[in-house]
Amino acid sequence: MADSIFESGKGIQATNFVIETSIYSLEVIKKAAYCFLDQATFEFKAVGEKVECQVSFNQPLAEKEVIDFKKAFDTELLDQDLRQTVSNETESMRNAVLAYAFSRTGLQSE
């Protein structure tokens, strides 16, 4: 992940992540970003095999806070990637369980 930082007198207002799509899918990146919408807004741009992620913080942050934000974002990316692994592997089982759980309840549509 390569980064650039946009700073004003009040602190850091925005930063830029570059993420390899061979490592994390766009869906994983978007899901991770969603979790931080209380702290920042995100703008994505596909550049070849990479995604440029422009992060604008809701409030200017100190440098350490930006580092903590990045760490938390990295952890979330990894978690979302694992979730996608679980989801891909268990989707058919999840559907089977739900189908059985709702069978003969009269609630499912014909």
Partner 1 sequence: MSKFKTLDTYNESLNGGYRLAPLNFTTLDGDDYVISNMAGEYLVVSKPNLHAFIKHKLSPAEPIYNELKSKHFLIDSDSNVAMDLMALKVRTKMSRLADFTGLHIFVVTLRCEHSCPYCQVSRQSEDRAAYDMSKETADKGLELVFKSPSPAIKIEFQGGESMLNFDIVKYIVEEAEKINVIERRDLQFVIATNLAVLTDEILEYCRDHRIHISSSLDGPKELHNKNRPRPGGDSYERTIQGIKRVRDKLGRDQVSALMTTTEASLEQPIEIINEYLKQGFDGIFLRPLSPYGFAIKTKSYKAYDVDEWLDFYFKGLEYIIELNRSGTFFVEQYAAIILNKMLTPFGTGYVDLTSPAGIGIGALVYNYNGDVYASDESRMLAEMGDKHFRLGNVHENNWEEMLTSEQLLGPLEESFAGSAPMCSDCAFEPYCGSEPVFHHATQGDYLGLKPTSSFCRRNMAIFRRLIKLMETDSEVKSIFMKWVRI
Which of the residues 34 through 53 are near partner 1 (CB under 8 A)?
34-39
93 lies in the site for partner 1, by CB under 8 A = yes
Q: Which long-range contacts link 49-54 to residues 24+ away (Cβ below 8 Å)?
A: 49/20, 49/21, 49/22, 50/18, 50/19, 50/20, 50/21, 51/18, 51/19, 51/21, 51/26, 52/16, 52/17, 52/18, 53/16, 53/17, 53/18, 53/19, 53/29, 54/14, 54/16
Cβ proximity to partner 1, 47 vs 93, nearer residue: 93
Cβ proximity to partner 1, 5 vs 97, nearer residue: 97
26 lies in the site for partner 1, by CB under 8 A = no
Residues that bind partner 1 (CB under 8 A): 31, 34-39, 79-80, 82-83, 85-86, 89-90, 93-94, 96-98, 100-102, 105-107
